[in-house]
Amino acid sequence: MKLFDLSGKTAIVTGANTGLGQGIAQALAMAGADIAAVGRTAPAETQKAVEALGRRFVAISADLSSMEPIGRVLDETIAAFGGVDILVNNAGIIRRNDALEFTEDDWDAVMDVNLKTTFFLTQAVAKQMLAQGRGGKIINVASMLSYQGGIRVASYTASKSGLAGITKLLANEWAAKGINVNAIAPGYFATNNTEALRADEGRTRDIMARIPAGRWGEPSDLGGAAVFLASAASDYVHGTLLPVDGGWLAR
């Protein structure tokens, strides 16, 4: 058995059109997986990269701010590839405001995408994995704010803390069923979600001073962790949060 070989596997990756999702999708494809990319916009760059590696690719247009697309995401993946072996819950949004001024809309919007839809998509995929009878791998994309409080991102912190808890709960329930549920906790990465943060010179200076690696992460930096958690190499790893943070938490 090749520990990190994903040949013949199918992976659903949400939010795969840019940033961390794109990096994860490419890494899984490099290891041999076919990719179902789920998102609101066409993942043209991701598709080009995956197909250049000789892997199959299907784009599934879905707005994960509501429950509507969940059944369709699964149906379209099965129609394209016959089943699903890996789910990467990467799609997420962030809203910034002082806690004293935070609105209900900014609370609900983030919680719906980052926690509610993530849970119910995971539930649907797990039912399919159990029906297939060969187990599966579920990888949630958590955050440094699964460990810490942050500032001005109340609903994001709540959602990512909740996702850490859900990761452990699902691992408790599904480990004996052959489904591994784990999470990657990215540190500070150069993506769309951190654009406002990187534009703030003071915050950027403070962040950089605390990262032992001395740089922001790039989406490709998540590839190894994603392949590990998606492969046979992690068969006895359940309910863990794996930080990929340049040493941020060690500081």
Contacts of 32 (CB under 8 A, 6+ apart): 5, 6, 7, 8, 9, 55
Query: Whose structure tokens read 């359940």?
Result: 238
What spatial distance separates the first Cα and last Cα of the chain, rounded to whole Å?
38
Residues with a known catalytic role: 156
Closest CA to 122 of 185, 76, 167, 159: 167
159 CB burial (10 A radius; 0-12, 13-18, 19+): buried
Note whether 96 and 153 are within 8 A (CB): yes
